[in-house]
Amino acid sequence: MKIVDLSKPIKYNKNDPWFMKVKIKHKPHSKAKWLIRLLGLPFRLFPKNFTGWADDTIQKMGIHSTTHIDAPWHYSPTVNGEKAKTIDEIPLEWCYGEGLVIDMKHKKDFDPITVEDIKTFLDKNDLAIKPGMIVLIKTGRDKFNGTKDFHKKGTGMSAAATAWLIDQGIKVMGIDAWGWDLPLPYMIKKAKETNDPDLFWEAHLVGQDKEYCHMEQLVNLDALPYTGFKVSVFPLKIVGASGAPARVVAIFE
C-alpha cells in the first residue's frame, strides 16, 4: 500500500494573513515533571530516566485556516429549505471513496472553471465521473501556499461547474487553491465594479440548493495520477461546526 499526503503542515507561518494564522505552543518534557510533583508524586518516586512528557496546545487556529473540509452549514443555514448539516453530521460514507483528479493547471488566474472545461478534460483523457467519487481539482496554486499572496491567486470553480459535479452524484470535492471560488479579493473587486450581487461566492452558494462538501488548500495533487486511488478525508468531529481540519490522503492499494 502507498499513501500520498494531500494535507499541508499545521504550523506557524509568518507570511500567512491574519485570518490564516496558526499558533501552537510546544511544551518540553521537563515541564511535566513539575506538574506531576505539584499533583503529589515525590521526585524520589519518579520512574528511572523519566524526563516527563511533551505536550502541545493549539492556541490559535481557525477551522478554515489549513487543509479542511467545509460542511453544508458553511454555505448556508439551509439546503433546499432543510437545515444544513454541520461537520459532525456529515455521513462518514461521503468521506472515503474512489478519487478522480481533474487537471485545470492551464487555467489562468481569475478565469473560472466551467462545465465545458471539465467535460473537455474528461473526454480528452477518456475518463468518467461515477457517483460517490471524491473529485480533486488540480490548479497548481498550492505552490503559493505559505506565501502572503496565496489567497489572492488562482482560478476557481464556477457555480455551474459545481452544480454539474453534484448532479453527477459527487458529494465531496476539493481544490488545491485557497478557496473553492475565484480568489476572494478578486470577487469583491468585480462585484463592486459591475454592481452585480450574483458574482460574489457563487460556487459556495450552490450549497443553498444542492447538498455537498468541498475541501480547500489541498497539496501534492501533482503526485497523483488521474485515477486509480482512493481518497480519505475524515474531518475532526467538531460539534456544530461549519467545517473541520482533515488529514486528506490518497491511498493506492
**pLDDT tens digit string along 72-121?**
999 999 999 999 999 999 999 999 999 999 999 999 999 999 999 999 99
Quick one: pLDDT at residue 140? 98
- Whether 152 is covered by a domain: the verdict is yes
User: For residue 164, how far is the Cα from the chain centroid?
Assistant: 20
- Whether 223 is covered by a domain: the verdict is yes
Whether residue 30 is found in the same domain as residue 146: no
Calpha distance 2→217 (Å, rounded): 22
Whether residue 193 is found in the same domain as residue 123: yes
Calpha distance 253→250 (Å, rounded): 10
Whether residue 108 is found in the same domain as residue 54: no
Going from the C-alpha of 221 to that of each of 11, 175, 233, the distances in angstroms are 21, 9, 14
User: Quick one: cell of 205?
Assistant: 452558494
Q: Above 90 in pLDDT, residue 228?
A: yes
Q: Which of 14, 37, 60 is the last residue of a domain?
A: 60
Whether residue 37 is found in the same domain as residue 73: no
DSSP string covering 142-155, please?
GGGTTSTTGGG---
User: Quick one: cell of 55?
Assistant: 505536550
pTM: 0.94
Q: Above 90 in pLDDT, residue 34?
A: no
**pLDDT tens digit string along 144-189?**
999 999 999 999 999 999 999 999 999 999 999 999 999 999 999 9
**pLDDT tens digit string along 124-148?**
999 999 999 999 999 999 999 999 9
User: For residue 92, how far is the Cα from the chain centroid?
Assistant: 16
User: Quick one: cell of 119?
Assistant: 467535460
Domain count, the chain: 2
> Domain residues for 42?
22-60
Whether residue 229 is found in the same domain as residue 150: yes
- Whether 16 is covered by a domain: the verdict is no
First to last CA, the chain: 5
**Segments in 151-200 forming alpha helices (H):** 159-167, 184-194
Calpha distance 233→9 (Å, rounded): 15
